[in-house]
Structure formats: C-alpha cells, structure tokens
C-alpha cells in the first residue's frame, strides 16, 4: 500500500482540441509507464470513434510512477476526462474522485466556452488548479494575452502558468514537478470502515462488469464481500488492480488510491455511478455525499431501415447499454417506420456517437427521427404528463398548459460575428442574460428553449461564425410557453415520424419549410400527392406533387376528338382511384433530410 502523502490524484480539463489527450500521452511517456514500442497517439482514447473524431468520450484512468527532484517516488493517478458538454456527467463524477486539475489552455486560441464549464466544475469540487499553456511552439501563440484572459475570465491566478508543447514535449518535466509540489495529497484513514466511490463502470466480455473505484477511507482486498449502498446488493470481490494503462492485479487498495475491481457483476445498471461501496460487515453507515444520476435531455426514435434487422438492433442497443448507463431505450412502433426504439441521450453529440457506434460496430442501417425534448404537459384535471414523443400528445381540449425545458447557453465569439450570433439567438426565442468582453471576444449568455437548440443550432452557430464560436449549455428548468403539435400529412395520411412540437408563432414558417422540402424529396407517383402541414384540424401549409403523365392519346392519329377525350377521361378516373388506394412511398433519404431543417 502506498504512503498517502506520496499520492497525487488529478484530472486534465480543457476545451475540445486544446491538447488534453496529447498531454496525457506525454506524461505516460515521460514517466516510462509504457514502452516506446507500445506507445501510440491518444493512447487513452480506446474507441475507434474517439480516435476518428479526436474527442474523448469515456473518462479513462492511468497510474504513473514518478521519481521527483527531491529523490522521492510518487504515484500519480490521472483521469483523462471528456471535454464535450454532452459528457459533462462523466466529467463531474471524475472531478469528485481527484483533488486537483491541470487546466490546459491553447496558447493561440485562449479560453473557450467549455474550458469555463469544466473549470467551474473543478472549482465546485474544491480542486487546486494548475494552469498550463499548451502549443507555445506555434507562431500564433500569445502566452501573455492568454494568461491575462485566464485571470479576467476565470478569475484564477495564472502568472505562474506552465508553458509547454505537448506535441514536441517541451516543459513536460515542469508539469510533473508541479503535480507533485502544487497539488495536495488525498486525505483518508486506513483504519476507518471502507468507503469507496464508484467512479465509472464498463462491461468486459470475460470479466463481467469492471468497476473503477476511488478509495476514500479503509482498505479493499481480494476475496472480501462488498455492498453497494444505493441498491444494498452484495458481491464477492474477484480481483483488484490498477491501470498502467493495461490492467495490473494488486493485493489491496488503500486510502487515496484509484483502481478497479471485478465482482461477478452482470450488468452495468447494477453499478450506479457515484454510489458508495463498503464492506458487508462493519461497513460505513453514511454514504458519500449525493451524486445525481444522469438524466437524458434529448430523445429520438431509432428504426432499422430493413424491418428484419429489428432483433439485431435490439441486441446492439442492449450491448451498448451494458457500457453506457446514461443511454436509455424503450420499444416503440410507428405506422410509417415499423418497430424501433425511443432512445434518450444527454445531448446531440451523445446521440450522434451512439448512432455511429450502432451503425459501425453492429453493421446496422438506421433511420433517426427528429430529436425532441421532454415536455411537461399539465392536463385540466391537474395531472402532469411527461411527453417524449410528439405523436403521443393527448387531445388539446384536455390540456391546460405545456412547459418546455430551458437552458442557459454561454457563447464565446469574436467581435465581428457578434451581430449574427445575437440574431441567431433572437430567432430561436432566446432571452439575453449577459454580454461581457474578454479581450477581443464577446461572451454572451442566453436563456434559450432546449427544443430550438436541439435541432441544428450548433451547425448554424458554426456557419455564421465561420467556426470561431464556442458553445456550452446547462439545463436550467421548465417554463410555460405557447406550444403546439404540428403534423405532416402526405396524401391525407399523417406521418407520425415527422410530427414536431413548435411554438405557435413559428408554426407557419416551420410548416411551409417542411412541405417545400418534402416536395423536392418525395418522387412523383402516377397520381398527384398533396403534402400538408396541420395544427389540429387547421392546414397551415400545402404543396402538391404533380402526377407522372403517360400520354394515352399517342396512338390516335387523326379521326374523332371524342375518342381522345374518352381515353383522357378513363385515365383521369384511374388516377382518382389510384389516389384513393395508392400508397405513397417516402424514401428513407426524404425522412432524414426533411428532419434536417435549415434557417
């Protein structure tokens, strides 16, 4: 067991692309944890999709052993956390497991929106923060300006920030020394009852569920029986170990240490993140201070393109849920799309990542319905419903009022694009809360409806600011508004996959855009097809796809005009009958593209 005063637990916080995973690579290399032969870029990002998108999705951990300048050996436990807002729940619980943070800021780009969000989480968790300026070897680096910005915007002392280049390895030794000298060691008693915090868990095909734990008090040994305090479930510990990045089995873990345990646990759902683990006998009485489970904010339907793939989709979703407790799914059916699942996600990036993993790792072709949020519907009899899918909305007569989720969005944007950003937020029914400047960049804080952000807000924001804006949000609560359900009818049949909730003032514009788009996307049939957008019984927009015409009079040469008229009348009657019984085939692309609304 390691002496607690020689342990340092820390995480690295940064905005996306500021060099967090690269710095982790250099620290692993500098301490000789991994041989040069096994070293690769972004060593801790193990999923293909993480490497491809260059983002960290699952928090990873590694134990480094370092001999400091004072001649003593230290154990450094690093948790590499995600930088993206959708995985904020991964970040917040990783923060609780460590005592300090390295704040990595790109010396050419400065402080971004998610830098702020993650640093505030670190400050809330009571961390000691060491600022690190990365990429100082770039010609565009302006360390003095960025130091000033860190002090102005975040409000922490940054005069002694460490200047490094994670790519070339400049200054990595200084970072290791700063971790040892400037970050506090953990506190805990080895003789107290066991209290271990469950930081993360994932499924391994051979070992069952692997649980990442941080020991707060007490000791954990192989063969002991443990109890999960939130569910009271009991398990025997099969093995204990640490990550160097590969798994290495150890005999025991003591206070302040980070490691893993396996205990024949079958499902990740049985291990609640933030839960307290203690011994079955003589265990702790009080659990560690509360941890909120992650709550999905965005919902959408996932349907297989080929109905025969439904069972494969169910298997794939169950396997993904083994690893990601924040992803929820329940079965649903749709008249247009058949059997599928209604899934809940933490945000749009989470949705994209899950969809990509389903398509890539399980070879599925999927249709994704329009993302929607959870509305609170208050009925006239006083009951409150949670509405996940607009198609399930009760009769308007029974509804007293509807509330929608609101978010507090922080946008950092260069001055020249400020007008476009303000207009975009106004167009999305936003209420401006604050506008301040950090150097030449404006920081705008808006209260926005989540429904408007979920659609394509992020893409629009990136396009109006040429990619220079950074955006971060937190869900603040629910607020009443004048919302209506808009349905799309194709050939007088409602298409439930295209139903959406819209603000009454926006309904006509949204409806018109939708029917115009569908007119381009649905191919012509032999009969004419009306496409309508409706609210209740009122049609608010309509377009008609004209019929394909076959020239039935081509064979008539000269002769009587009545013969031609007869043929045309016969064709007209046939088309009328067709329209009555004909089915309109809406191609998959039409669904997907109709749901991507622009402007």
Annotated binding site for GTP: 17-22, 134-137
d(CA 401, CA 405): 14
Radius of gyration of the chain (CA): 29
Contact predicate 371/364, CB 8 Å? no
Contact predicate 390/372, CB 8 Å? yes
d(CA 277, CA 9): 19
Contact predicate 108/135, CB 8 Å? yes
Q: Find the distance separating the first CA and the last CA of the chain, reported in whole Å.
A: 60
User: Could you tell me which residues are annotated as the binding site?
Assistant: 17-22, 134-137
Q: In what order do the strands lie in the sheet with 208-217?
A: 234-236, 225-228, 276-279, 195-204, 208-217, 258-262, 239-244, 246-249
Residue with tokens 């079955």: 280
Nearby residues of 566 by Cβ (< 8 Å), 6 or more positions away: none
Residue with tokens 């302006």: 142
Distance from chain centroid for Cα 132? 26
Residue 241: both structure tokens together: 């170990």
Residue 251: both structure tokens together: 């005999």
Phi, psi of 225 (to 5 degrees): -95, 130
Mutual orientation of helices 88-96 and 113-124 as an angle, nearest 10°?
30
352 by Cβ neighbours in 10 Å (0-12 / 13-18 / 19+) ranks as: middle
For 200, the enclosing helix (H) or strand (E) is strand 195-204
Contact predicate 67/93, CB 8 Å? no
d(CA 365, CA 304): 6
Q: CA dist 389 to 299, 372, 385, 507, Å?
A: 8, 7, 12, 18
Q: CA dist 277 to 79, 225, 417, Å?
A: 20, 10, 50
For 566, the enclosing helix (H) or strand (E) is helix 561-581
Spatial CA neighbour of 39 closest among 18, 52, 25: 25
Residues in the chain, total? 599
């Amino acid at each position: 067991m390691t002496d607690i005063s020689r342990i340092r637990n820390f995480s690295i916080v940064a905005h996306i692309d500021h060099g967090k995973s690269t710095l982790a690579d250099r620290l692993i290399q500098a301490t000789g944890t991994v041989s040069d032969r096994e070293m690769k870029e972004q060593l801790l990002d193990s999923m293909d999709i993480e490497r491809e998108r260059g983002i960290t999705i699952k928090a990873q951990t590694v134990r480094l052993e370092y001999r400091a300048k004072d001649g003593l050996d230290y154990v450094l436990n690093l948790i590499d956390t995600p930088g993206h807002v959708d995985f904020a729940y991964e970040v917040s619980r990783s923060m609780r497991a460590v005592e300090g943070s390295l704040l990595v800021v790109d010396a050419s780009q400065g402080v971004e929106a998610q830098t702020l969000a993650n640093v505030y989480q670190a400050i809330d968790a009571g961390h000691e923060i060491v600022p690190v300026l990365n990429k100082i070897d770039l010609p565009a680096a302006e360390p003095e300006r960025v130091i000033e910005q860190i002090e102005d915007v975040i409000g922490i002392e940054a005069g002694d920030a460490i200047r490094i280049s994670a790519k070339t390895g400049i200054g990595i030794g200084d970072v290791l020394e700063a971790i040892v000298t400037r970050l506090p060691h953990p506190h805990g008693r080895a003789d107290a009852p066991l209290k271990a915090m469950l930081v993360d868990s994932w499924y391994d095909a051979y070992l069952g569920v692997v649980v990442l734990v941080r020991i707060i008090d007490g000791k954990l040994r192989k063969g002991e029986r443990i109890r999960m305090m939130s569910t009271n479930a009991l398990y025997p510990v099969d093995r204990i170990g640490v990550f160097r990045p590969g798994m290495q089995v150890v005999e025991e873990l003591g206070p302040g240490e980070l490691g893993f345990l396996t205990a024949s646990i079958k499902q990740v759902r049985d291990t609640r993140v933030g839960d307290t683990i203690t011994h079955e006998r003589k265990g702790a009485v009080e659990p560690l201070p509360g941890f909120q489970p992650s709550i999905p904010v965005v919902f959408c339907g996932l349907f297989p393109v080929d109905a025969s793939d439904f069972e494969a989709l169910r298997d794939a979703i169950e396997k993904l849920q083994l690893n990601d407790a924040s992803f929820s799914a329940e079965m649903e059916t749709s008249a247009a799309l058949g059997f599928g699942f209604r899934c809940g996600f933490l945000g749009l990036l989470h949705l994209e990542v899950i969809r990509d993993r389903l398509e890539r790792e399980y070879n599925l072709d999927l249709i994704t319905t329009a993302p929607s949020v959870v509305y609170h519907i208050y009925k006239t009899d006083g009951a409150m419903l949670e509405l996940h899918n607009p198609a399930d909305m009760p009769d308007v007569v029974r509804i007293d009022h509807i509330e929608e989720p609101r978010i507090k969005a922080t946008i950092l944007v260069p001055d020249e694009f400020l007008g476009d950003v303000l207009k975009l937020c106004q167009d999305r029914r936003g209420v401006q809360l604050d506008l301040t400047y950090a150097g030449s960049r404006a920081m705008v804080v808006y209260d926005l409806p989540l429904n408007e952000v979920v659609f394509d807000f992020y893409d629009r924001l990136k396009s109006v600011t040429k990619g220079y804006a950074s955006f971060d949000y937190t869900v603040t609560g629910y607020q009443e508004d004048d919302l209506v359900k808009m349905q799309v009818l194709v050939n007088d049949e409602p298409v439930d996959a295209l139903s959406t909730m819209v603000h009454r003032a926006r309904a006509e514009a949204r409806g018109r855009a939708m029917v115009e788009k569908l007119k381009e996307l649905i191919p012509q049939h032999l009969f004419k097809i009306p496409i309508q957008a409706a609210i209740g019984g009122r049609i608010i927009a309509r377009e008609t796809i004209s019929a394909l015409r076959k020239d039935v009079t081509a064979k008539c040469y000269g002769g009587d005009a009545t013969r031609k008229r007869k043929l045309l009348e016969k064709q007209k009657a046939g088309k009328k009958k067709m329209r009555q019984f004909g089915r309109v085939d809406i191609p998959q692309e039409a669904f997907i593209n109709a749901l991507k609304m622009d402007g």
